[in-house]
Amino acid sequence: MPSRLTTREQVWQIRARVGMGLSTRSPVTGIRQVRIAIASDHAAVSLKAALAAWLREAGHDVLDLGPEGTASVDYPDYGFKLAAAIANGSADRGIALCGSGIGISIAANRNPACRCALVCEPLSASLARIHNDANTIAMGARLIGEEMAKACVEAFLSADFAGGRHQFRVDKLSTKVPA
C-alpha cells in the first residue's frame, strides 16, 4: 500500500507528474505569476498584509480587497467581494482569510464561479488545484502561521488541474443541485 503524501518533496513530485504548464515564473519563488485577489476580515488583516507583500515581491499582480484596519467587519462581505473578482475576471486566483477560514470560504462559495477550498497545509492546497480545480483557497489566521500560509499559497499557485477523471466531478459543481 502506498504511503500517505505528507512532505513538501512529495507535493513537488505530484506537481511534476501532472505537468506544470507554466508560463511566466517568479524569479523570487519560481512559481507561476498570476493575478491574485486577497481579502480578509478583521481577524486576518496582518496575515493578509504579509501575504500580499510577499506575493507582490514575487512579481504577482495583487488585488487587495480589504479591509485596511482591524475594526470589526463581516467576513461574508469580503468573501462575496473576492468571489466577484474571480467571477468577473479581475483575478485568476483568490486567497480568502478570516479567523478560522471557515466563514469566508462559505461566503466565497456562494458564487458559482468560485471554487474555494479551506486549507491548512501545502498538500491540501496542492490537491485542491490538482483534483478540484479550486481557484481560491481559504485559511484561518488564528489557526495557521505566516510561514505555513506562504507554503500553502506556494503549493496552490504551483499546481495545475489534472483534468481527466476529475473533470466530470468538477463539472458537477457547476450544475444545479436537484431539490
- Paired strand residues for 40: 97
In a domain, 111, yes or no: yes
**C-alpha distances in Å from residue 75, one per residue of 40, 84, 120:** 7, 14, 18
In a domain, 12, yes or no: no
Indicate the residue type of 9: E
Predicted local confidence at residue 30, as pLDDT: 63
- Paired strand residues for 116: 136
**Cβ 48 vs Cβ 38: under 8 Å:** yes
Cell triple for 82: 473576492
Q: Which residue stretches of the chain have pLDDT < 50?
A: 1-8, 10-12, 14-23
Predicted local confidence at residue 143, as pLDDT: 97
- In angstroms, rounded to a whole number, what is the distance separating the alpha carbons of residues 68 and 90? 20
In a domain, 135, yes or no: yes
- In angstroms, rounded to a whole number, what is the distance separating the alpha carbons of residues 47 and 41? 10
Query: What's the pTM?
Result: 0.82
The CATH number given to whatever domain includes residue 79 is: 3.40.1400.10
pLDDT digits (tens, 9 = 90+) for 101-122: 999 999 999 999 999 999 999 9
In a domain, 16, yes or no: no
In a domain, 5, yes or no: no
DSSP E strand boundaries for the chain: 35-40, 61-64, 93-98, 116-118, 136-140
In a domain, 7, yes or no: no
In a domain, 66, yes or no: yes
Predicted local confidence at residue 24, as pLDDT: 61
**C-alpha distances in Å from residue 168, one per residue of 25, 116, 143, 160, 162:** 30, 18, 33, 16, 12
Predicted local confidence at residue 33, as pLDDT: 78
Cell triple for 23: 508560463
**Cβ 115 vs Cβ 134: under 8 Å:** yes
Predicted local confidence at residue 11, as pLDDT: 46
Predicted local confidence at residue 3, as pLDDT: 46
Domains: count for the chain: 1
In a domain, 90, yes or no: yes
- In angstroms, rounded to a whole number, what is the distance separating the alpha carbons of residues 48 and 68? 10
Residues with a catalytic annotation lie at 98, 131
Predicted local confidence at residue 163, as pLDDT: 83
Range of the domain at 65: 30-171
